Chains A and B, each alone.
Chain A
Amino acid sequence: MAGHLTVRDAHVTYKLPGRRLLAAVDGVSFDLAPGEVLGLVGESGCGKSTLARAICGLEPLSSGTVTFDGQSIPTLGLRRRPAHLLRIQMVFQNPYSSLNPRRRVGDQIADGLAIAPASERSSVAQLLDDVELDRNAAGMFPHQFSGGQRQRIAIARAMGARPDILVGDEPIASLDASLQAKVATLMRDVALKNGASLLFISHDLSVVRVVADRVAVMQAGRIVETGPVASVWSAPADPYTQRLLAAIPTADGLGRLPAA
Chain B
Amino acid sequence: MTSPDLRDPALRDPALDAPTAGAATRLRFAAVRSRLRLPSAYRRPMAIVGFTIIALWFIVAIFVPWIAPFDPLAQQFDRLQPPGPVNWFGTDSLGRDVLSRTLYGARISLPLALILVVASAIIGSVLGAIAGYFGRAVDEVIMRVADLVFAFPTIILAMIVTAALGPSLTNAVIALLFVSWPSYARVMRSMVLGARSREYVVAGRLLGFSPFRSLQRDILPNVAAPVLVLATLDFGNAILLLSGLSFLGLGATPPTPEWGAMVADGVQNFSDWWLAAFPGLAIFTVVVAFNLVGDALRDSLDPRTAGAVQGVKI
Contact = CB atoms under 8 A, between A and B. Distances in A.
Are A and B in direct contact (Cβ within 8 Å)? yes
Interface of A: 56, 58, 76, 78-81, 83, 86, 88-90, 92-94, 96-103, 111-112, 114-115, 132-134, 136-137, 140-141, 143-149, 154, 157-158, 161, 178-179, 182
A182 B311 contact: no
Contact of A145 (B10, B13, B206, B310): B13
A98 B309 CA distance: 11
B298 interface: no
Contact of A182 (B10, B28, B208): B10
Contacts of A58: 202, 206
A233 B221 CA distance: 47
B209 interface: yes
Contacts of A154: 203
B32 interface: yes
Given A102-B222, A141-B32, 7 more contacts: A83-B208, A88-B206, A98-B200, A114-B208, A146-B13, A146-B15, A149-B4
Contact of A148 (B7, B11, B202, B209): B11
Interface in B196-250: 198-200, 202-211, 217-218, 221-222
Contacts of A93: 199
B133 to A, nearest CB: 8
12 contacts: A83-B208, A86-B207, A93-B199, A96-B309, A96-B310, A100-B222, A102-B222, A111-B204, A115-B207, A134-B7, A145-B13, A146-B13
Nearest to A154: B203
Contacts of B310: 96-97
A48 B5 CA distance: 32
Contacts of B118: none
Contacts, number: 116
- Give the size category of B's interface with A: 35 or more
A76 B196 CA distance: 13
B207 A80 contact: no
Nearest to B24: A146
B206 A81 contact: yes
Interface string B1-28: 0101111101111111000000000001
Interface string B121-140: 00000000000001000000
B73 interface: no
